[in-house]
């Protein structure tokens, strides 16, 4: 069954020594989307960007090769891929003799089969340009002087906007996003960027709302979609983008991006915490 409790999460695992696409464990997005009020057609466009820092294989002579891998899973795919199963799958290449182009083809094919939609795969050398560490742009909310005593579950009621004021366009940022794996309870730490145009959003209420994820159990992708849906419902912006950059676990980081703009294509900047 493709439910989180049936995944490899939280279970003793023997690492595969060989390539095996059956290790990938898809989890349907539908149930959680119904819970948070996301229906077809989707109210957003977007992608889940995965970065793998522990990809290695053997060349034709048996010499180990390494690369950084970027995977882009479209938000319209019917499934997410459970992260531990993803790591086990990638580790299976470590003793496989395979050409880099054949490796890239296999990754794209297998991940598309698991996600249910085409997945873009990019491999690059660790020394390649483009891996510089940089902050996401935005006005940081974290220094607001708040008294906080609510750490979950998330409360959309904290969100509000002043619809009597002139519309604004701003980018807001917080490093205080924390949620937990719904199976193991392990913490997931992230930086979230919220860009919008519309009635001015109350900054203090937004920060309280983000902090209220602190004890919440949900996957990265689901948290970002919940934030997007709650902001649209409570603040009704004309345009909205939510982008979370999570710290890595097990050699993988996951960075969900959701936007009202169908043409928006996010970059993949590696943050200081990543």
On whether 254 is known to bind a ligand per the annotation, the reply is no
On whether 105 is known to bind a ligand per the annotation, the reply is no
CA distance 176 to 2: 31
On whether 81 is known to bind a ligand per the annotation, the reply is yes
Coil vs helix vs strand at 190: strand
Coil vs helix vs strand at 161: strand
On whether 250 is known to bind a ligand per the annotation, the reply is yes
CA distance 74 to 14: 30
End-to-end CA distance of the chain: 32
Catalytic residue among 188, 230, 235, 253: 188
Number of other CB atoms surrounding residue 95 within 10 Å: 15
Q: What is the 3-state secondary structure (H, E, C) of 14-68?
A: CCCCCCCHHHCCEEECHHHHHHHCCCCCCCCEEEEEEEEEEEEEECCCCCEEEEE
On whether 221 is known to bind a ligand per the annotation, the reply is yes
Query: Which residue's entry shows tokens 């819970």?
Result: 35
List the structure tokens of 103.
């490796």
Confirm whether 181 is a catalytic residue. Answer: yes
On whether 220 is known to bind a ligand per the annotation, the reply is yes
Catalytic residue among 48, 181, 230, 235: 181
| Binding residue ranges | 81-84, 220-221, 249-250
Annotated binding residues for NADPH, written as ranges, equal 83-84, 249-250
Residues with active-site annotation? 181, 188
Q: Residues forming the annotated binding site for substrate?
A: 81-83, 220-221
């Amino acid at each position: 069954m493709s439910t989180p409790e049936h995944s490899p999460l939280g279970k003793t695992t023997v690492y595969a020594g060989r390539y095996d696409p059956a290790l990938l464990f898809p989890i349907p997005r539908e149930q959680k989307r119904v819970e948070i009020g996301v229906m077809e057609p989707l109210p957003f466009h977007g992608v889940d960007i995965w970065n793998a820092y522990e990809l290695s294989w053997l060349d034709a002579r048996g010499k180990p090769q390494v690369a950084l891998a970027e995977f882009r899973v479209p938000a319209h795919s019917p499934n997410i891929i459970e992260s531990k199963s993803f790591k086990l799958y990638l580790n299976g290449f470590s003793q496989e003799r395979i050409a880099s182009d054949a490796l890239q083809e296999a990754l794209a094919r297998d991940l598309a089969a698991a996600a249910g939609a085409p997945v873009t795969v990019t491999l690059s050398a660790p020394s390649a340009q483009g891996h510089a560490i940089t902050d996401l742009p935005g006005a940081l909310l974290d220094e607001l002087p708040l008294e906080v005593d609510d750490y979950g579950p998330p409360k959309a009621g904290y969100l509000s906007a002043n619809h009597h004021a002139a519309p604004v366009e701003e980018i807001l940022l917080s490093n205080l996003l924390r949620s937990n794996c719904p199976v193991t309870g392990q913490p997931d730490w992230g930086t979230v960027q919220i860009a919008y145009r519309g009635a001015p959003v109350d900054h203090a209420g937004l920060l309280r709302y983000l902090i209220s994820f602190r004890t919440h159990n949900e996957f990265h992708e689901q948290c970002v979609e919940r934030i997007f849906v709650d902001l649209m419902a409570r603040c009704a912006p004309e345009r909205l983008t939510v982008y979370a950059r999570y710290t890595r676990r097990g050699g993988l980081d996951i960075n969900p991006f959701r936007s009202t703009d169908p043409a928006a294509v996010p970059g993949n900047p590696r943050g200081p915490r990543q």
